Amino acid sequence: MNTKTHSIWKGYGFAWVTLGFFLISFVGHWLFGWFAYVSEQQAHAQPIQVSDYLVEMSRDTFENWQSEFLQLLWQVGGLAILLYVGSPQSKEGDDRMEAKIDEILRKVDPQNAERIIQTLDDDYAGRHTDARHAHR
């Protein structure tokens, strides 16, 4: 019996690296933000108050996240939605690949190719069949 054990470290390697980058950048942002806050307060002869620092850094952090996450969510989410609904850009590669596969099938099994292609078209009705029929 072949049972593979998947390590949580290997299975989620990308997530761990991303988490590491996130933590390093987050700690660095807040640490250097502290140094900048202290320096600015001293330059203006103002008291150094942790509560003021927390408010300022929280505002800056959320402002940055809002900007970056909204941009990233639109890029990833928008692209995923457009691919899902079948924008022309997402169909081009699929249609070309299906036409090539159909042609290979015709060469490999000329007697049964059309029947197999029709069966697949029926099984997956409505999915990318328009361009495929145009290639025939």
The pLDDT of residue 4:
61
d(CA 31, CA 21): 15
Over residues 39-79, the pLDDT tens digits come to 999 999 999 999 999 999 999 999 988 888 888 888 888 88
The domain segmentation of the chain, as residue ranges, is 11-85, 88-134
For 102, other C-beta atoms within 10 Å of its C-beta total 20
First to last CA, the chain: 47
pTM: 0.50
Question: CA-CA distances (angstroms) from residue 57 to 24, 29, 36, 135?
Answer: 16, 9, 11, 59
Task: Map residue 43 onto helix, strand or coil.
Answer: helix
pLDDT at 94 over 70: yes
